Chain A
Amino acid sequence: MMRRWLSFGLNRRGFIGAGLIAAGGAAVSAVRGQSDERHLHQGHGVTAAGTSKPDHATAHGAMITVGEVDYARNGFDPTAMLTDWETGVVSTLPDGRRLRTFELTAIDKEIEIAPGVMFAAWTFNGRVPGPALRAMEGDRLRIVFRNNGSHPHSVHFHGIHAARMDGVPGAGVILPGDEFVYEFDAKPFGCHLYHCHALPLARHIHKGMYGLFVVDPDPAKHPEFTNVARSRLLGTDENAQWQEMAMIMNAFDTNFDGENEFYACNTIAHCYAKKPIRVARNRPVRIYLVNVTEFDPINSFHLHANFFDYFDQGTTLTPTLKTVDLVIQCQAQRGILEFSFADHQDHEPGLYMFHAHQSEFTELGWMGMFDVVEGEA
């Protein structure tokens, strides 16, 4: 009988009927609750202020995943992945054009996506995201794809190519054990992606089969913006001035309820919060950013204490958005972010946060830090 009081209380917790008897107990617990709460908040403040040396974890209080991911066992390290461009094997075709050959292999692999949490991933080359492929506008590309996984897979490029090379069912989706060679020209220049397009699409993407596909502009083809194009072209002196990073915003639904339990930039929840990305203050930063988050309609990138220029899909040499500190992307949307900490005196060395500005994503793992330092990073 008393049990019904329980549900009554839950639904109308604000109602304290000032009963002579109840008031005593309820008031005692209410006052206690309030004072406890104050105490707790103060406690947090003390921890943050009382720490002598800046601790990146403190910036987020106690709100972070616990423990460390075993990168050796995973076979990939998110910090190394930032700058690990796959440029393929270069050769020359009879007509004098450059041919780049990439090898991609679908592999089933259990990976640790957050400390202590294992995820049965489907991968390209054993890593999530797959290799960040990079070529120059006009290169002939040959991608040798082997399916060593347990399901049919494909590689579907966002680019310009023939229907036969599209990597959809009937055109490049291959069974386990099979091999397929995709061949097309690298165009248009920009920041693109590839992903498996076998069905069901959501599962194949969400399991980890995606990667960056960057086509650098050919300076010779853009005489009006030669310097800009050269700064985007990997291997030039101009490009070497830039601190370039490959970032893929992704997420994982570990309990198959159609909602993500973990959000991240480059797979590992909170990886750049626990190990901030070192950035030299005097050199500009360029981020190739892709959103492949499944189950949520959009994702976003917000930079603290600074603004950036944004090149949507990277297919232009002038920004499509100037001076913003936030950009939103739907799934498969991508672009290039350019910013610098050199131009403003305010940008003292220190930790500058970046994260999705959907607070939920941030608090479920998609948060990181740039550690801006003087001199070489």
Chain B
Amino acid sequence: MSENAAIGTQRRASRGGGQLHLLWAALPLAVLLAALWWLIAANPLRSFNNGAPPVENLTVERTILDRDGLRLLVRAGGSEPMTIAQVQIDSAYWQFEQTPAGELERGSTAWIAVPFPWVLGETHRVTIVTRTGATFEHEIPVAVATPVATSGNLIPQAILGIFVGILPVAIGLMFYPALRGAGPATMSFLLAMTIGLLAFLLVDTLEDAFEFAGRSAALFQGSTMVVLAGVAAFLLLMGISRREGPPSGLALASYIALGIGLHNLGEGLAIGAAFAAGAAGLGTFLVMGFTLHNITEGIGIAAPLLRQRPSLWTFAALALLAGGPAIIGMWLGSLAYAPQWSALALAIGAGAILQVIVEVGAYLLRSQDNRFAALLTPSTLVGCGIGVAFMYATAMLVKI
């Protein structure tokens, strides 16, 4: 009885303590509010006002060229609201319409429409002049009409996406029957090669992600966003894949396909953006080079399946998962979406690839009875090296 009473007292005390804790939590919030109120009401920072003009920043996120001229989606990033006063194209002032009109708050966007008779295939330079006389330059390297989402545009892009995304993965998967008889050493070699090619894709994806991030508005903190999104994607996928123990077999193959698929989504975005920028003068040679380059991705997906007997549709689904996003990316990219979205997609892809590298490595380790020394055998080291080298060498075909 007395024991129960004692426990009851303890509970009450802890409940009371909980309320007290809540009160204590309100204290810092109250101090914050008071500080903000004082900052606004008393303006103690006015002595820092040295008469310098406000810092202005403007980023062009989308460029649309069509029969009405050109339209730019701009995002303001100034320390104070800023006003676009005039617009030059190729060193001439043009009438323009801003929607919505008026001042641009920090972080807000507006469309600038100029009835400019752009010239097909030529370069145009847009200079936006703000109220303070600051200028922001934007180059349209090659003027072509921005693709619109019509079947006439989407179907050729889809065919291109199939060639650079789905076809090579499918061809790689077709090595499956030939590889089925592989012994443990060949298995290790193939898995190590997969790690090598994934490592190449990781570096390549991160490089592209940072490049897109660099072109996005400063307030998105592009580089930080890429790292955080990559790490978040990595942790999320690790968490999901480890719910039922370390993945192997079909599950592992699916994760590899997903990682490669996210990578290909980013690639598709880049090709689509090249379409939008008028740069898609793609030659047959380049498309073939890219097909060759991506064949190893299919082999990598097939490697964990060699001890199983998956159905044919499983292979089809894996090829679609790994290659299909290239088509979606191409469609989205050609509509000239803002660079921060491309950076985000590529960062998530990088996280996914890292997760796959860890899982394939763990799988390789388990197949060698968890002996770390087994990771350093000639067959695994050579496999890893060949994976990287093959990707690097075939990349030479497409980097000009």
Contacts and interface: CB of A to CB of B under 8 A. Distances in A.
Interface of A: 1-10, 12-22, 24-26, 28-30, 32-37, 39-41, 43-44, 62-67, 114-119, 252, 254-255, 257, 261, 269-270, 360, 363-365
A195 to B, nearest CB: 22
B255 interface: no
B131 A117 contact: yes
Contacts of B278: 9, 13, 29
B287 interface: yes
B145 A33 contact: yes
A15 B159 contact: no
B156 A116 contact: no
Nearest to B146: A29
Contact of B95 (A29, A62, A252, A255): A62
B119 A10 contact: no
Contacts of B127: 261
Interface of B: 65-69, 83, 85-88, 91-96, 114-121, 127, 129-135, 141-145, 147, 152-153, 155-157, 159-160, 163-164, 204, 208, 211, 267-268, 270-271, 273-275, 277-287, 290, 293, 395, 398-400
Nearest to A28: B152
A37 B85 contact: no
A270 B93 contact: yes
- Majority SS of interface residues in chain B? mixed
Given A5-B280, A22-B283, 13 more contacts: A2-B274, A6-B273, A9-B281, A16-B283, A18-B283, A25-B280, A33-B65, A35-B67, A41-B117, A114-B93, A115-B86, A364-B91, A365-B93
A19 B286 CA distance: 9
Contact of A19 (B114, B117, B282): B282
B281 A26 contact: yes
A6 B274 contact: yes
Contact of B163 (A21, A30, A41): A21
Nearest to A254: B133
A39 B267 CA distance: 34
Contacts of B129: 114, 117, 254, 261
A118 B270 contact: no
Contacts of B120: 30, 33-34, 37
A116 B131 contact: yes
A269 B86 CA distance: 11
B88 A364 contact: yes
A43 B115 CA distance: 10
A25 B275 contact: yes
A26 B160 CA distance: 11
A19 B131 contact: no
B398 A5 contact: yes
Contacts of A67: 85
Contacts of A17: 281-286
B281 A62 contact: no
B117 A5 contact: no
B135 A20 contact: no
B94 A255 contact: no
B157 A63 contact: no
Contact of A25 (B87, B153, B164, B211): B153
A19 B400 CA distance: 17
Contacts of A19: 282-284, 286-287
Contact of A360 (B91, B94, B163): B91
B134 A254 contact: yes
21 contacts: A1-B395, A5-B270, A9-B279, A10-B279, A13-B278, A15-B283, A17-B283, A17-B286, A26-B281, A29-B147, A29-B275, A32-B145, A40-B69, A62-B115, A67-B85, A116-B131, A117-B131, A255-B133, A255-B134, A363-B92, A363-B93
Contact of A116 (B86, B119, B145, B287): B86
Nearest to A23: B156
Given A25-B153, A32-B145, A364-B92, A5 B274 contact: yes
A140 to B, nearest CB: 42
Contacts of A20: 284
B159 A24 contact: yes
B108 to A, nearest CB: 18
Contact of A44 (B85, B117, B164, B398): B117
Contact of A115 (B67, B85, B147, B208): B85
B324 to A, nearest CB: 16
A15 B115 CA distance: 29
B377 to A, nearest CB: 30
Contacts of A15: 281, 283
A24 B330 CA distance: 14
A285 B118 CA distance: 39
Contacts of A4: 398-400
A21 B159 contact: yes
B142 A10 contact: yes
B142 A29 contact: no
Given A37-B117, A116-B83, A2 B271 contact: yes
A66 B159 contact: no
Nearest to A365: B93
Contacts of B268: 2
Nearest to A15: B281
B133 A119 contact: yes
A18 B287 CA distance: 11
Given A13-B142, A29-B144, A29-B153, A114 B85 contact: yes
Contacts of B119: 37
Contact of B85 (A16, A21, A117): A117
Given A1-B267, A24-B156, A116-B131, A269 B93 contact: yes
A9 B274 contact: yes
A25 B160 contact: yes
B92 A63 contact: yes
Contacts of A26: 280-282
A308 B58 CA distance: 46
Nearest to A26: B280
Nearest to B119: A37
A51 B133 CA distance: 34
B142 A9 contact: yes
A5 B142 contact: no
A29 B283 contact: no
Contact of B399 (A1, A28, A115, A363): A1
Contacts of A10: 141-142, 277, 279
Nearest to B121: A13
A16 B92 contact: no
Given A6-B277, A15-B283, A363-B93, A40 B67 contact: yes
